[in-house]
Amino acid sequence: MMADNPDSNSQAPFPPQVKGPPQAEGPPQAKGTHVLLDIYGVKRLDDPAYLEDVMRQSASAAGAHIIGAHFHHFGLEQGVTGLLLLAESHISIHTWPERDYAAIDLFLCGNIAGVDAAIDILTTSLQPKTTKEQRILRGAPLPD
């Protein structure tokens, strides 16, 4: 049986916690914003290096801290699945170049300005003809 000792593993899987900006005083707020972004009419969706660069720029614009990345290309003229693991959560992309379509999942803890900055970089760089966005506040207090 393994002991409940947090120091039992000398190699922690993640860097020390990064603290975000202080939260405003007042009632409890959501812990993060989760955005589901569908983008249509996009080119270069079969280029994992390009997509990783765009997503890294997006994370940087959000003020997020990248702690890992993995991008997989499914082959000639096929799509890409990519993930940036962030101290603040994650950004992922799944592409269908044959349909000029990508699904992006963006979950960031902290303030909304970072989410908006990340989306601005994604849409400016990828230049979709059409976007569909859904926002979900994660960890928001339950109503009384």
Return the closest-CA partner of residue 20 out of 89, 118, 83, 70: 89
Catalytic annotation present for 89? yes
125 flagged as catalytic: no
Helix (H) or strand (E) holding 125: helix 112-126
Tokens read off for 133: 């966005």
List 34, 58, 89, 90, catalytic entry:
89
Rounded to 10 degrees, the C-alpha dihedral 17/37/131/140 comes to: -80
Examine the residue annotation and report whether 34 is marked as an active-site residue of this protein. no
Pick the catalytic residue: 65, 73, 92, 109? Answer: 109
Instruction: Calculate the alpha carbon distances from 37 to 6, 24, 40, 70, 124 in Å.
Output: 37, 27, 10, 20, 14
Cα–Cα dist 125/7, whole Å: 43
Query: Catalytic amino acids?
Result: 89, 94, 109
